């Protein structure tokens, strides 16, 4: 059985364009959320395409959960607009409920309830007819590899199992968009791999996923696009490669030398296009540096270094998502107090 041939899927899926089209499913424009003295979200602009897995990255308190709760219709934005499949999340809350499957960062547990009863309750709460509900439960337990948990009590499950049941619950009414808040949080490595496979499977089945996390390798492996939010502001978004190249216009290069490390370092220091020379592993013949020039300049530099030292290799160090994240949050850690600033003060600081 595929998601598209499941009858319970009809309400949400029929309204959506076919997978593969570049249809924007989730759109935020100037989305802002202010609490008394804290601005949790500052004029967020965001677009997620249908069938994409969007990784939402940020440290605790960055604004991830706020965004997700607004999109799920649980939190009212102070300003701005958010749409899911063209439906405004504030004005069309009824429609949003059919379109969105929301999984919070904590798993709501009912005592004394078995997994299938838990899914049956939420299915009935979404007004899915009984027969379709039965099929739907079978299908989503199969999709989420949770069939063996069917008769187990929800509150006795391990965290990884609960997370899978949580995702199964979000699939009950076959929503077009899944909003998953930290689904991999607290999972052991094996459960994380399973979770990653499950998310990929859902995306392949045509679901649009917004997955928040700070476990970056997990997101890098599963996401089509990412957004990095810091202190309520989206600092970067797009395909992972694009974000990385935007964040690091200067390439990170590494020389491996057999002899003449000090002379090579002298050459690099003298180059205008080189910066941030890292000599920490110089004893082992390794020199790392940022290079802002083009390939021709790189060839010239290689020649000058080779003239003064014995070069074994020169390579470009691939950037990870973690590097990108650190580039935004780590380097700007001095701005941390801004999070607690009053809105007008923050606005003043931004103008300056």
Partner 1 sequence: MIRNPIIHRELLSALRTRKAILLQVLFLLVTGALILLYWPAGGIQDVGGQEARRIFGVLALGEIVMVILFAPAFTAAALTSERERRTLESLFATAMRPRDIAVGKIVGSLGFLFLVILTGVPGLAMPFLLGGIEGTQFLAALGILLLTAVYLGMIGLLISAVMHRSYRAIITTYAILLGVCFLVAMPATPLSNHLINRGGPAWRGVLHVLASLSPLEAMLSAVWPGHAWSRGAPGWPAFWQLHLPLAGAVTLVSAGVCLHKLRRPAAPPRPRERLKVVERGQITARTFLFLIDPRKRKKMIRWWQNPMFIKEFRTRPMLQAQWLIRAFGWCVIISILLMIAQSVTVQAMLPDRPGTRIIEEDLPTVIAALSVLVLLLVGPAITGGTLCADREAGVWDLIRTTRLSSVRIVTGKFGAAIIPLLLLVMAILPTLVVLPFFVSFRVNLWPTILAVLSVVLMTALFVAAAGMFFSSLFSRTATATAWTYALVISLGLLTLLMLLGEGRFSQRIIAGAFVVSPLAAALDAAGSAAMIKYQVRTPHLQLMAVATVAMFLVAVVRVIQLRRPDR
**Residue 146 binding partner 1, by CB under 8 A:** no
The values of phi and psi at residue 224, to 5°, are -85, -45
| Cα 339 from Cα 229, distance rounded (Å) | 12
The values of phi and psi at residue 136, to 5°, are -65, -40
**Residue 81 binding partner 1, by CB under 8 A:** no
Query: Of 54, 102, 255, 291, which one interacts with partner 1 (CB under 8 A)?
Result: 102
| Cα 80 from Cα 30, distance rounded (Å) | 4
Query: Of 42, 52, 64, 133, which one interacts with partner 1 (CB under 8 A)?
Result: 133
**Residue 109 binding partner 1, by CB under 8 A:** yes
CB of 4 to partner 1, least distance (A): 22
Asked if residues 177 and 51 have their Cβ atoms less than 8 Å apart, the reply is no
Residue ranges with strand state E in 218-281? 225-230, 233-239, 251-259, 274-278
The dihedral through the CA atoms of 31, 20, 164, 7 has a sign that is: positive
Q: What distances in angstroms separate CA 10 from CA 13, 62, 93, 311, one per listed residue?
A: 5, 36, 19, 63
CB of 111 to partner 1, least distance (A): 6
Helix/strand/coil for 25: strand
| Cα 131 from Cα 137, distance rounded (Å) | 10
**Residue 104 binding partner 1, by CB under 8 A:** yes
Q: Which is nearer to partner 1, 175 or 285 (CB)?
A: 175
**Residue 185 binding partner 1, by CB under 8 A:** no
CB of 31 to partner 1, least distance (A): 13
Q: Which residues of 223-254 are buried (b: 16+ CB within 10 A; e: fewer)?
A: bbbbbbbbbbbbbbbeebeebbeebeeeebbe
CB of 74 to partner 1, least distance (A): 6
Q: Which is nearer to partner 1, 209 or 228 (CB)?
A: 209
Query: Of 4, 38, 92, 121, which one interacts with partner 1 (CB under 8 A)?
Result: 121
Pattern 266-305, partner 1, x by CB under 8 A: ----------------------------------------
Q: How far is residue 200 CA from its own chain's centroid?
A: 13
**Residue 189 binding partner 1, by CB under 8 A:** no
CB of 298 to partner 1, least distance (A): 53
Q: Which is nearer to partner 1, 102 or 325 (CB)?
A: 102
| Cα 8 from Cα 85, distance rounded (Å) | 19
Which residues bind to partner 1, rule: CB under 8 A?
69-70, 72-76, 90, 93-94, 97-98, 100, 102, 104, 106-114, 117, 120-127, 129-130, 133-134, 151-153, 156, 169
């Amino acid at each position: 059985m595929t998601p598209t041939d499941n009858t319970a899927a009809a309400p949400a899926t029929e309204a959506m364009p076919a997978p593969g089209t570049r249809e924007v499913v989730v759109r935020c424009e100037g989305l802002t959320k202010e609490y008394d003295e804290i601005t949790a979200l500052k004029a967020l602009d965001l677009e997620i395409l249908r069938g994409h897995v969007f990784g939402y990255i940020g440290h605790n308190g960055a604004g991830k959960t706020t965004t997700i709760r607004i999109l799920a219709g649980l939190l009212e934005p102070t300003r701005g607009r958010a749409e899911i499949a063209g439906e405004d999340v504030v004005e069309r809350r009824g429609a949003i409920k059919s379109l969105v499957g929301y999984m919070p960062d904590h798993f709501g547990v009912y005592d004394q309830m078995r997994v299938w009863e838990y899914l049956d309750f939420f299915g009935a709460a979404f007004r899915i007819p009984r027969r379709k509900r039965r099929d739907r439960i079978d299908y989503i337990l199969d999709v989420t590899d949770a069939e063996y948990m069917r008769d187990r009590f929800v509150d006795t499950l391990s965290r990884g199992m609960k997370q899978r049941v949580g995702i199964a619950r979000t699939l009950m009414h076959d929503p077009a968009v899944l909003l998953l808040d930290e689904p991999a949080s607290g999972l052991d490595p094996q459960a994380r791999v399973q979770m990653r496979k499950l998310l990929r499977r859902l995306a392949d089945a045509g679901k649009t996923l917004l997955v928040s996390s700070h476990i970056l390798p997990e997101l890098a492996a599963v996401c089509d696009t990412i957004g990095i939010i810091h202190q309520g502001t989206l600092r970067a978004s797009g395909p992972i490669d694009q974000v990385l190249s935007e964040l690091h216009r200067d390439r990170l290069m590494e020389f491996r030398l057999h002899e003449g490390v000090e002379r090579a370092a002298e050459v690099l220091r003298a180059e205008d296009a080189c910066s941030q020379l890292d000599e920490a592993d110089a004893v082992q013949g390794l020199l790392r540096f940022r290079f802002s020039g083009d390939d021709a300049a790189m060839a010239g530099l290689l020649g000058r270094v080779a003239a003064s030292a014995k070069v074994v290799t020169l390579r470009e160090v691939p950037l990870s998502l973690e590097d990108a994240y650190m580039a935004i949050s780590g380097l700007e850690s001095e701005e941390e107090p801004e999070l607690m600033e009053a809105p007008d003060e923050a606005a003043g600081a931004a103008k300056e």
